[in-house]
Amino acid sequence: MKIALIIENSQAAKSDIVHTALKNVAEPLGHEVHHYGMYSADDEASLTYVMNGLLTGILLNSGAADFVITGCGTGMGSMLACNAMPGVFCGLVIDPTDAFLFGQINDGNAMSMPYAKGFGWAAELNLEDCYRKLFEHERGVGYPKERAAIMAKNRGILADMKAASCHDMLSVLKTVDQDLLRATIAGERFAELFYANAKDEEMSEYLKSL
């Protein structure tokens, strides 16, 4: 599985902490971690939590990533921005129980975390525990297991409802503020990571045209 990491500007100084914690858990499980930035508070390309959501939509809908880890100060702004995108189902994860239940019940494809609120001593241990609870277990099994069938049914209903209420991602790219879109894909490693992994040629060609 390709896991994309996106860090927004207010928390960019913690990028190495978050990236290292994610790699420590995901890579031994056989997953790839692709860090789309920000990499430091001094990066020339700056990402806001709104841009986190747009970039998450691009990565998931193009097939460049299978799962996205993002966040902001509280985690809420990035979660809201992600859930504004078609095909993105993002949960707010604060502790390992959140991570486990989100994976088992909601089986989403993105999670947002708070990197300022409650981010104190041993924060990297909480990060690793959250990633472990999410990625060590088969997702979508259900909890409690006797409710697995109804949970799976509700996930399908939610997916259908979102598909009915959202434009496709290519339409989003063509109608969103184009300066915002250019800034969203301006990260120093975006082209290197995205075009090598994206499966949607139309989206790739449109982004290249910018």
Spans of all domains in the chain:
2-209
Q: Which amino acid is at 2?
A: K
Q: Tell me the pLDDT tens digit for each residue of 157-166.
A: 999 999 999 9
Q: Tell me the pLDDT tens digit for each residue of 96-119.
A: 999 999 999 999 999 999 999 999
Can you give the pTM of this predicted structure? 0.96
Torsion of CA 194, 200, 203, 207, to 10 degrees: 30
What is the pLDDT at residue 26? Answer: 98
**Region 2-209: CATH code:** 3.40.1400.10
What is the pLDDT at residue 131? Answer: 98
